[in-house]
A and B are shown apart, each in its own frame.
Chain A
């Protein structure tokens, strides 16, 4: 088994902030917009370096999305920053009409996604955003797993012409992907090679999937682990190749099982290579207050949940 080590816990939002700082220096067309959450989104450094290219919108997310869309006229590449909840559900129609349908080059950067936002509770813990965004024609949907990958993704999306939804989170989590990685939109990353079960994970669940694979290995089960940072467009080939080998799959995500990565994987398999699947995801429920660790355990979004799901799905082969 390949060994992955945590180089020191870091939040993915800091990966975004540091990536944006680097982009600001490299690309003069990059502009950043924030709806009164500059500190939370780690956009302070960009703001300090490029005050003329930083736009404080205030608590007005609909206006922010509209302004961002308008800024593309004239060639700017806007990065909007707020919590995932306010980046999607609150402004769905603005994104739909002014960004997606209008084909504008806006990067919607969403922090505090999912249940690991923690103590603020369900008003802020969106578990539906991947579904909302992936349903929009032309929208690229990315959910990164650690600091390094988030930083790499932030820098990479500027090269992609078109709307992007970039999802990341609040808590400090293991940082285990290479600092010098090349981020390729739509390209899955194979983390472990295995033969008994495929684990397809995204976001914070990728590290949990690696822990699960170690436990499974100790139990004599060989798991293929795939890091899906891009949910749309999905790397169908990587998933098919793996499932053809293992015969079953567990999908793992910090999102409702309706509308998330799991359903996208099910679409690929049901049309091309039907196989048993288990969903590690929230079960059509809202979250609640608690620490990230407590919530991940209560809602079945951790390594032990993945281990149990893997055993279940193998039994169904």
Chain B
């Protein structure tokens, strides 16, 4: 049984990390990061069988790829608080000579990152490659990926989605952050995604929803169900219903905070809604 109180405390601390990272450099992407805090906390604390002693090859452990690399603040916060690198290093986010680049990269050798991402639409393909290698290596661990919903407008995803089903890549769980927002507005206004569940199912995936994507318990329960679906001949897709900007009232239900940092006053307001739990870096 997961200690939900402890995990919720961690989620709040991760939110603070996200806000403080982007505020310090007046850039970065808080909206999607906040919306995925519960998912990342669940993934690295309850779901993945992973070694915090990082190795690039990731053999005999579950591995994760972030496809929508712009939500790097939440990725960095959770990696740091899982022990991949010192939490204090979050202070260097987007600064010159930092390992914490604007978008995640292997180039600077940051532990926990196995592939650069930022240019969208490439994560599912990469994950398929890693998943097929696990099969070749008789490694029965899983590969997890997170994609944005707007990101599915990139055509490469659909090449990958077709391939994964056709080749029975069933050691792969792709989670779609279904927050309905992208830079220019709602996905409905920019380019409607249609019925995502029907689309994935039509391509031959096993699809499930997590309706409360910002409820840690619901995320853990849902993702555990997704794990049970693996190994049965189909790739697994989780539609994670989240709210962009979750946990900060003025950042929620809008695309405005997709890629904008709060000013001093806004930061103070946002932090006051998320009192320190585990200690700021």
List residues of chain B with CB within 8 A of the CB of A72.
Answer: 129
Give the dominant DSSP class at A's interface: helix
B129 touches A94 (CB 8 A): no
Bound together, the chains give a CA A103 to CA B130 distance in angstroms of 15
C-alpha gap A62/B156 in the complex (Å):
6
Indicate whether A103 sits within 8 Å of B107 (C-beta atoms), given known contacts A73-B133, A74-B134, A94-B122.
yes
- Chain A residue with minimal CB distance to B109? A103
Contact yes or no, B156 A57, CB < 8 A? no
In the complex, A31 Cα to B130 Cα: how many Å? 13
B125 touching A62, Cβ below 8 Å: yes
B85 within 8 Å of A by Cβ?
Answer: no
Could you tell me if A66 and B126 are in contact, using CB atoms closer than 8 angstroms? yes
B14 CB contacts on chain A under 8 angstroms: none
Q: Are B130 and A74 in contact (CB under 8 A)?
A: yes
A54 to chain B, nearest CB (A): 11
Q: Mark A60-82, 1 if CB is under 8 A from B, else 0.
A: 10111111111111111010000
Q: Check if A102 is an interface residue, CB within 8 A of chain B.
A: yes
What is the CB-to-nearest-CB distance from B70 to chain A, in angstroms, rounded to a whole number? 13
B133 touches A97 (CB 8 A): no
- B107 and A65 form a contact (CB under 8 A): no
A74-B58 contact given A62-B159, A63-B159, A94-B156, CB 8 Å threshold: yes
> Is A75 within 8 A of B128, CB to CB?
no
Measured CA separation A26–B125 after assembly (Å):
28
- The answer to whether B129 touches A102, judged by C-beta atoms less than 8 angstroms apart, is no
Contact of B126 among A31, A53, A69 (CB under 8 A): A69
The distance in angstroms between the C-alpha atoms of A73 and B119, with both chains bound, is 20
From A58, A62, A70, A101, B130 is in contact (CB under 8 Å) with: A70
- The yes or no answer to B106 lying at the interface (CB within 8 A) is yes
A31→B133 CA distance, assembly (Å): 10
Once the chains are docked, how many angstroms separate the CA of A62 from the CA of B159? 8
Partner of A74, one of B59, B160, B162: B59
* Alpha-carbon separation in the docked complex, A15 to B269 (Å): 66
Known contacts A53-B136, A102-B107; is-contact A73 B128 (Cβ 8 Å) = no
The interface on chain A, measured as residues whose beta carbon lies within 8 A of the other chain's beta carbons, has a size of 32
Bound state CA distance, A201 and B65, in angstroms?
Answer: 43
> A91: shortest Cβ distance to chain B, in Å?
9
Q: Which residues of B contact A65 (CB under 8 A)?
A: 125
Give chain A interface residues in 40-62, CB to chain B under 8 Å.
52-53, 55, 57-58, 60, 62
Least CB separation from B63: chain A residue: A73
Contact of B105 among A31, A96, A101 (CB under 8 A): A101
Tell me if A98 is interfacial: C-beta within 8 Å of chain B: yes
Tally of contact residues, B, Cβ under 8 A: 40
The reply to whether A97 and B122 form a contact with Cβ atoms under 8 Å apart is: yes
Number of cross-chain contacts by CB at 8 Å? 118
Cβ of B56 < 8 Å from any Cβ of A?
A: yes
Let me know if A52 and B136 touch, CB within 8 A.
yes
Q: Given A57-B163, A60-B159, A98-B126, are A71 and B133 neighbors across the interface (CB < 8 Å)?
A: yes
- In the bound complex, how far is the Cα of B128 from the Cα of A286, in angstroms? 36
| Closest residue on chain A to residue B55 by CB atoms | A73
With contacts A65-B125, A97-B122, A102-B106 taken as known, whether A70 is within 8 angstroms of B115 at the C-beta atoms is: yes
Kindly supply a per-residue 1/0 record for chain A positions 259-303, scoring 1 wherever the CB is within 8 Å of any chain B CB and 0 otherwise. Answer: 000000000000000000000000000000000000000000000
Give the interface centre of A31, A52, A60, A73 by most chain B CB atoms within 10 Å: A73
Known: A55-B132, A74-B134, A97-B116. A103 touches B159 (CB 8 A): no
B118 within 8 A of A: yes
Assuming the A-B contacts A74-B57, A74-B58, A102-B115, are A67 and B163 also in contact, with contact meaning beta carbons closer than 8 angstroms in the complex? yes
* Per-position 1/0 for A77-106, Cβ under 8 A of B: 010000000000000011011100111100
How far apart sit A76 and B139, CA to CA, in the bound complex (Å)?
A: 13
B214 contacts the other chain (Cβ, under 8 Å)?
Answer: no
B255 within 8 Å of A (CB atoms): no
Name B146-179 residues within 8 Å CB distance of A: 155-156, 159-160, 162-163, 166-167
Q: Is the CB of B125 within 8 A of A73?
A: no
Q: Does B114 reach chain A (CB closer than 8 Å)?
A: yes
Contact (Cβ within 8 A) B122 A98: yes
- Residues of A with C-beta under 8 A to B68: none
Q: Are B133 and A75 touching (Cβ within 8 A)?
A: yes
- Considering only residues 37-77 of chain B, those with a C-beta below 8 Å from chain A are 56-59, 63, 65
Q: Across the interface, name the chain A residue whose C-beta is closest to B59.
A: A74
A74 and B133 in contact, given A67-B125, A98-B116 (Cβ under 8 angstroms)? yes
Q: A70-B125, A97-B116, A102-B106 are in contact. List 16 more A-B contacts (CB 8 A).
A: A31-B136, A53-B136, A60-B156, A63-B160, A66-B156, A67-B132, A67-B163, A70-B130, A71-B129, A71-B132, A73-B63, A73-B130, A74-B137, A76-B133, A96-B119, A103-B107
What are 25 pairs between A and B in contact, CB < 8 Å? A31-B136, A58-B163, A60-B162, A62-B125, A62-B155, A63-B125, A66-B123, A66-B156, A66-B160, A69-B115, A69-B125, A70-B125, A71-B130, A72-B129, A73-B63, A73-B129, A73-B133, A74-B57, A74-B134, A74-B136, A74-B137, A97-B116, A97-B119, A102-B106, A103-B107
